[in-house]
Amino acid sequence: MPVRCLITEEQIGRGVDELARRISADYAGRNLTLIGVLTGSIILVADLMRRISLPHKLGLLQASSYRESATRPGALRINLDLLPDVAGRDVLLVDDILDTGATMARLMDEIRSRGAASVRCAVLLWKQSRTTAPIKPDYHCFDIPDEFVVGYGLDYGDEYRHLPYIGVLEGGREAQSAE
């Protein structure tokens, strides 16, 4: 299936550099824990944690409302088996994209319920036009149109994650991305 480049590898690099700079400044002197939302955020989390200039812990959780090659969400499934103790820590949830916001809102509530000192979120991409939950990312790199995007961790049918850029999957797919 053809993929049209939307955000280049170089643009992503600059965006992640700026994101890391802002996070490093905002969390200076605090007990930061990054929590990556698997599987889409894995590349962003790896790049971001190497660029953040202060000590921090890392944890992971898995959340999915999309199955296989679906382009519309189903029931949300959350797996917290890899989540570290966050009690008393400042938590930054990191995901690839904020679409409707429903997944991120639920994850933030879950982390708060575990006693985190604070909970904020950072995403690479934000589809503002689709956000329906009462949430905005605390940090984001790029606003994108309502198109189905892949690359830099985002997938379609578990493919295309390897692309070093963000591309629009063309071929008549619905204009929605896996949040």
Q: Is the peptide bond before 103 cis (omega within 30 degrees of 0)?
A: no
Task: Name the DSSP letter for residue 156.
Answer: B
Find tokens 């991305």 and name the residue. 177
Give dist(CA 167, CA 18) in Å, integer.
21
Dmax (CA) of the chain? 49
Active site residue 99: yes
* Three-state DSSP class for residue 15: helix
Main-chain dihedrals φ then ψ at residue 151, nearest 5 degrees? 100, 160
Query: Using an 8 Å Cβ cutoff, are 119 and 112 in contact?
Result: yes
Distance CA 65, CA 37 (A): 12
Question: Catalytic pick from 47, 95, 96, 99?
Answer: 99
**For 128, which DSSP code?**
G
Residues with catalytic roles? 99
